[in-house]
Amino acid sequence: MTDFSVLRNRAITDVIEPGSTVKAFTIAAALGSGLYAPGTIIETSPGWMMVGGNEVKDLFNYGTLTTTGVITKSSNIGSSKIALDIGAEPIRDVLERGGFGEVLGTGFPGERSGVLPNPRRWGRHPTATFSFGYGLSATALQLAQAYSVLADDGIRKPVSLLRLDESQVSALSREQVISADIANMVRSMLGTVVDASRGGSALEANVPFYSVAGKTGTAHVVGEQGYEDNLHNSLFVGMAPASDPEFVIVVIVNEPKGEEHYGGQVAAPVFSRVAAGALRILNISPDSIPEEQSLELSAL
């Protein structure tokens, strides 16, 4: 019997809850509201909070964070407080403009739109969890499209599964769906996720001699009786070189085996290897050579 599942392009046909990769767009909405700046202080102690009778918690007690720190540490409490402050609708609006909740028009059979719900009558807990990627679903392609908006100064372009030449690329429609300033601020924040000096959550996503920006995600798998406590999807969405991105890569590991399941542990190393290969094949010049090595090369 033929296993037709192997014929699927799972980046287009399979949907998952995107988890904390959504926080980039929560932050974009926060910046767009005018109520938050990258340095705005958000208190996340003691590492958990009750919202609508339900607990929202972080992996650790991160204490006092900035808006940037919410991305760096991937704080559920920080993103929840932002969502409860600005509401879920601005976040949904940013996601919709980025391509969530719609068929992207590849023409590939079985392309899915995912689910982007209307939060108008939501209570506090669904609003909070929406801010870190629960209550919606998306394909890997939609995640790539949305992050490409952040990579390309807030401009959205159509997606294609076919290789396009330069004239075809230049003829593509372009829509400014997020302001360039906000896209650049969020991209800078995503750079802290891989920065050891900032305590980033995805150090294994780094690529030697290149700057990287991205976001981890870890989401419980939905089973017949609701969320499965011990089953997860691990994600990392990143771009490189972060100073002038040439590509976006989405890594999704379904139900990873072993002791580790967080996106920064499981998906980020895959991103690093794939990105390193892509940078080499595309012949993209390094943009992050340590100063001492740069001096050594100059002396040769």
Q: Which residues are catalytic?
A: 20
Q: What is the dihedral of CA 219, 195, 266, 207, to 10 degrees?
A: 130
CA–CA dist 207, 212 (Å, integer): 7
- Dihedral sign, Cα of residue 52, residue 60, residue 25, residue 19: negative
